[in-house]
A and B are shown apart, each in its own frame.
Chain A
Amino acid sequence: MALSGMRGLSVFISDVRNCRNKEQERLRVDKELGNIRTRFKNEKVGNIGGREFAESLAPDVQKLLISSSCRPLVRKKAALCLLRLFRKNPDILNIDGWSDRMSQLLDERDLGVLTSSMSLFVALVSNNHEAYWSCLPKCVKVMERLARNQDIPQEYTYYGIPSPWLQVKTMRALQYFPTVEDPSIRRALFEVLQRILMGTDVVKNVNKNNASHAVLFEALALVMHLDSEKEMMSQCVALLGKFIAVREPNIRYLGLENMTRMLMVTDVHEIIKRHQAQIITSLKDPDISIRRRSLDLLYGMCDVSNAKDIVEELLQYLATADFAMREELALKAAILAEKFAPDLSWYVDVILQLIDKAGDFVSDDIWFRVVQFVTNNEDLQPYAALKAREYLDKPAIHETMVKVSAYLLGEYSHLLARRPGCSPKEIFGIIHEKLPTVSTPTIPILLTTYAKILMHSQPPDPELQNQIWAVYSKYESCIDAEIQQRAVEYFALSRKGEALMDILAEMPKFPERQSSLIKKAEDTEADTAELSAIKLRTQQQTSNALVLTDQRPANGAPQVSQLGMVMVPSTSNADQNAVDQRVTQSNGTLSVVDPQPLAQDHAPAGDILGDLLSPLAIEGPPGVSPQSEFNGVPSHEGSVGANDALALAPVGDQESTVKPIGDIAERFQALCLKDSGVLYEDPYVQIGIKAEWRGHQGRMVLFLGNKNTAPLDSVQAVILPPSHLKLDISLVPEIIPPRAQVQCPLEVVNLRPSRDVAVLDFSYKFGTHLVNNKLRLPAVLNKFLQPIQVSAEEFFPQWRSLPGPPLKLQEVVRGVRPMPLGEMANLFNSLKLMVCPGLDPNPCNLVASTTFYSENTRAMLCLIRIETDPADRTQLRMTVASGDPTLTFELKEFIKENLVSIPTAGKPPAPVAQQPQPNNQPIASSDPGALLAGLL
């Protein structure tokens, strides 16, 4: 190649030298420059040009390609250039008459131009074959020419094979047409294919062998695609059967792969089954690529008749398989066992063996599924219980085995009662032996099992009862809430005697569901897939055994799983769904219900949500009860100094056309009373919050979720903290990938009491649209309160020791939202002000106490007294006392804000008497949050 380039140069030099005058010389040079320009232009256009560029230049490039006067080199480049342009903008070639020109191009004699044109053609037909039916006979002609080695120049043969790459490409193009209708063309094509199938021999030269087999495998693929002729098909199977038995690893690999593909296009199970033994040998090959292929093939060829053999083979192999494959193996074995179980007891056997042999790789879904099966099939229950009992006798068993056998024995051990070693006491004994070895999540299951055993031993055996009660009382003070709750509850329940029978009765049958395992299989696919956005573009994967069996949701939203990134729920329906799911899970014993199918019933949004931020979504959207309204002072009151920060209504939404979903103020108020939920949502973005508070510190996590299939650009989240809060936000990425969620942790430190609110200035760009929102963050005063119960002996000395202003402030508040005293007490409790009943002898009064934490004040006790007037519920007298004047004032104002009636959007009542005391506002102008609020 390099030499030929040099030849051009020397020809040019000698031409120039031979020129007789200046004019001729100039002509020759111009011609050369022209050549250079055309070449350069093609490459440049293809490489650098954008979409508009492609549109405007495509006609010129087309002309170059078709023109017969151009040199082949230029036309080759033109074809490749068009291919690139086409990939950028398919419209450039969707024009009348192009298919005819394409058809002419395929008549090309020059193999270089033909190869380039074929590349272009493959791209065109893969996009839309309908327009190119007229080209189909031309492709067959090309195949004939190559197969017969007619008119093929030496430089286009590779080890004696006429351009194997062009052959492969042509056959690839043919696979984009559904059928070949014309009988004569079809005959011609099949003749060529037949020649390839029969005429390819194994030769010594590796390269020649590879090249000829490349053609052969493509021919196989084409035959599989065109199918129908059963004669050719059986030939293919025979060939593949030969291939999977050869030593040469590449051929064996491809044989296995193509056999798997073949399973999907036609019904050749019976023929392929003959090779089962051979395929199983490959499962033990030292090469993992080959093992994977044979696993896929075994998975694909499995049906009721051979399931037993195949699954047992997989189980046997599991013990020695390498770690990279175990999980996949376990999953596939479980799915096959479920799908093709000849009888259910066999299924239970298989899964228990699976857990026994590869417990680490058996996900919870697998054992949940067994439990479902056993629960739903009464005949199976004694058998399953017996099996579980047998496994417990083993000296060392996997924790998952402990879980499943404890569950099964708890439910069904009474069915075994007459067998030796199966009395309630013995069952308890053997399960309890395992308790010290298991981890926290398993303990609740065991506690449930004990309760069930206790329930089944009627009349109660006092000794067993005492043993179990001893366990419960041990865990009564366990640090894990789940364990503690179960221990306490079961202990209380087990004292109910006969009533226990009703409460702890057998689990009802599970509703029939689609297997979560199959869905899981699909998820693992997604997991092992790419980590980048490219994946989204390449979703149209070809068949693979796993894809075949699963039913993707109809609109198959692309799924990305990525470290640290999770999907975003997109519909409120999905939110609701998550709530259901969560409820079932947190319902103690019900935790066996596998959540996935539930989610699957709904749109893909549901299953996206399944794994993810359910805790967030749960407490999110539901409407806010009126009493929790909070801090919602309307914005026009912003001029009143003390309320500046509160006036910070969301602003961005008037300017931008992106309307938030739900009321931002309401969401904020809801979040003031709880620690997780949705802060903001619009059609593109959802921002969720989860927070934890401890003393004067807190940790918030912002979940910024992109709900779209396009990335969000220029994402910015800036926090404008008021002076009393120290806020550190971690770096927010500038781009949120499609349907991904990023988490931004946020550390909060409270320096001193203040009612000012931190503001999150959040903006992003969607398309050309800049969306900006200023959102209040729920790091409000009551987050730093800790309710505390105070007895009369503590209260009164404190109360008296704080004599009057500025430590104790009293105010008559008017315009109070009328509410019964009970409701007011609830409101106080929800604000973490603990109501202490009985301290005030007057039933119309309310006394509450709490501890406030900040860096300046440390923990400080606050006492509140409310005196209501039964005759006029709209007014009351409030007294607040604490050891810090600012705190007293701020707390008083804070409570007042929550008591006065809050106007519904836009319609304020007569302004409430608000008398800010400037001297108690040390913050003022240096506070960016307040400043910002003022500007708004």
Chain B
Amino acid sequence: MGIRFILMVNKQGQTRLAQYYEYLTLEERRTLEGEIVRKCLARNEQQCSFVEHRTYKIVYRRYASLFFLVGVDNEENELAILEFIHLLVETMDRHFGNVCELDIMFHLEKAHFMLEEMFHKAL
């Protein structure tokens, strides 16, 4: 059933926002995030936006210093997710005006609201 988690991570590897749609313990989350961040951040622009990890497929996109990572299962349209990330960023940009990492850090609740609303409606 599609999306498993959404992460926003900066290029230092710090998680700025995380939403999980299945239960993982904190410990499991931390390990998972660490593994994913190590894998994705090491990639360059010429490489594709999909990384396979465990049973997940990570669809990610980088905007300036922030990585948006979405974990999906095999039953998901990767490009649709990729564009969903962009739609999310456009929406945040419209709201915050020139959105940056700090906007998300200091308005975490708004970022969560937006994510929740959009995630439910679009996907």
Contacts and interface: CB of A to CB of B under 8 A. Distances in A.
Given A164-B80, A164-B83, A529-B54, A249 B48 contact: yes
Contacts of B55: 529-530, 535, 538, 541
Contact of B77 (A115, A126, A172, A531): A172
B14 interface: no
Given A250-B49, A534-B24, A1 B114 contact: yes
B64 interface: no
A91 B66 CA distance: 42
A266 interface: no
B52 A213 contact: no
B77 to A, nearest CB: 5
B98 interface: no
A214 interface: yes
A511 to B, nearest CB: 35
Interface residues of A, number: 44
A530 B121 contact: no
Given A210-B86, A249-B46, 14 more contacts: A76-B121, A115-B121, A158-B87, A168-B77, A172-B77, A250-B49, A250-B79, A253-B48, A287-B46, A530-B55, A531-B31, A531-B54, A532-B28, A534-B23
Interface string B40-81: 000100111111101100000000000000000111011110
A104 to B, nearest CB: 20
A217 B51 CA distance: 18
A294 B22 CA distance: 31
Given A172-B77, A289-B48, A530-B54, A250 B83 contact: no
B1 interface: yes
Contacts of A214: 77-80, 82-83
Interface residues on B, range: 35 or more
A290 B79 contact: no
Interface in A187-234: 207, 210-211, 213-214, 217-218
A116 B123 CA distance: 8
Interface string A327-370: 00000000000000000000000000000000000000000000
A286 interface: yes
A555 to B, nearest CB: 21
A165 to B, nearest CB: 5
Contacts of B75: 542
Q: Which 9 A-B pairs have the closest CB atoms?
A: A214-B79, A249-B48, A287-B47, A214-B80, A253-B48, A542-B74, A168-B80, A250-B48, A211-B83
A80 interface: yes
A289 to B, nearest CB: 5
Q: Give the secondary structure class of B's interface.
A: mixed
Contact of A165 (B46, B91, B95, B122): B122
Contacts of B49: 249-250
A924 B82 CA distance: 73
A475 to B, nearest CB: 45
B77 A250 contact: no
A56 interface: no
22 contacts: A1-B95, A1-B114, A80-B121, A112-B121, A165-B84, A207-B86, A210-B86, A211-B79, A211-B80, A214-B77, A214-B82, A217-B78, A218-B80, A250-B82, A252-B48, A253-B48, A287-B47, A292-B52, A528-B54, A531-B31, A534-B24, A538-B73
A172 B79 CA distance: 14
A119 interface: yes
Interface string B87-123: 1000100010000000000000000001001001111
A229 to B, nearest CB: 22
A2 B83 contact: no
Nearest to A525: B55
Nearest to A175: B75
A824 interface: no
A123 B1 contact: yes
Nearest to A46: B120
B22 A534 contact: yes
Nearest to A116: B121
Contacts of B80: 164-165, 168, 211, 214, 218
Contacts of B54: 528-531
Given A211-B83, A252-B48, A541 B74 contact: yes
Contact of B95 (A2, A172, A528): A2
A531 B117 CA distance: 31
A172 B72 CA distance: 15
Nearest to A171: B77
Contacts of A249: 46-49
Contact of A287 (B48, B91, B117): B48
Please indicate which of the listed interface residues B50, B80, B86, B91 has the most CB atoms of chain A within 10 Å of its own CB.
B80
A254 interface: yes
Contacts of A530: 54-55
A168 B84 CA distance: 12
B44 to A, nearest CB: 8
A210 B82 contact: yes
A531 B28 contact: yes
Nearest to B43: A287
Contacts of B22: 534
Contacts of B91: 1
B73 A217 contact: no
A534 B123 CA distance: 22
B78 to A, nearest CB: 6
B75 to A, nearest CB: 6
Interface in A517-561: 528-532, 534-535, 538, 541-542
A119 B48 contact: no
B95 to A, nearest CB: 5
A253 B58 CA distance: 13
Contacts of B77: 168, 172, 214, 217-218
Nearest to A542: B74
Contacts of A254: 78-79
A2 B91 CA distance: 10
Contacts of A289: 47-48, 50-52
Contacts of B83: 158, 164, 207, 210-211, 214
B118 to A, nearest CB: 9
B104 to A, nearest CB: 15
A214 B24 CA distance: 29
Nearest to B95: A2
Please indicate which of the listed interface residues A112, A211, A292 has the most CB atoms of chain B within 10 Å of its own CB.
A211
Nearest to A123: B1
A253 B50 contact: yes
A292 B80 CA distance: 22
A289 B44 CA distance: 12
B120 A217 contact: no
Please indicate which of the listed interface residues B22, B51, B55 has the most CB atoms of chain A within 10 Å of its own CB.
B55
A541 B75 CA distance: 8
Nearest to A87: B1
A76 B118 CA distance: 12
Contacts of B84: 165
A211 B86 CA distance: 10
Contacts of A158: 83, 87
Please indicate which of the listed interface residues B73, B78, B91 has the most CB atoms of chain A within 10 Å of its own CB.
B78
Interface string A152-184: 000000100000110011001000000000000
B87 A250 contact: no
Given A165-B122, A534-B24, A541-B55, A250 B74 contact: no
A217 B76 CA distance: 11
A327 to B, nearest CB: 15
A390 B85 CA distance: 57
Please indicate which of the listed interface residues A87, A214, A292, A541 has the most CB atoms of chain B within 10 Å of its own CB.
A214
Nearest to B25: A532
Contacts of A210: 79, 82-83, 86
Contacts of A164: 80, 83
Please indicate which of the listed interface residues B48, B51, B121 has the most CB atoms of chain A within 10 Å of its own CB.
B48
A119 B123 contact: yes
A250 B83 CA distance: 12
B85 to A, nearest CB: 10
B117 A1 contact: yes
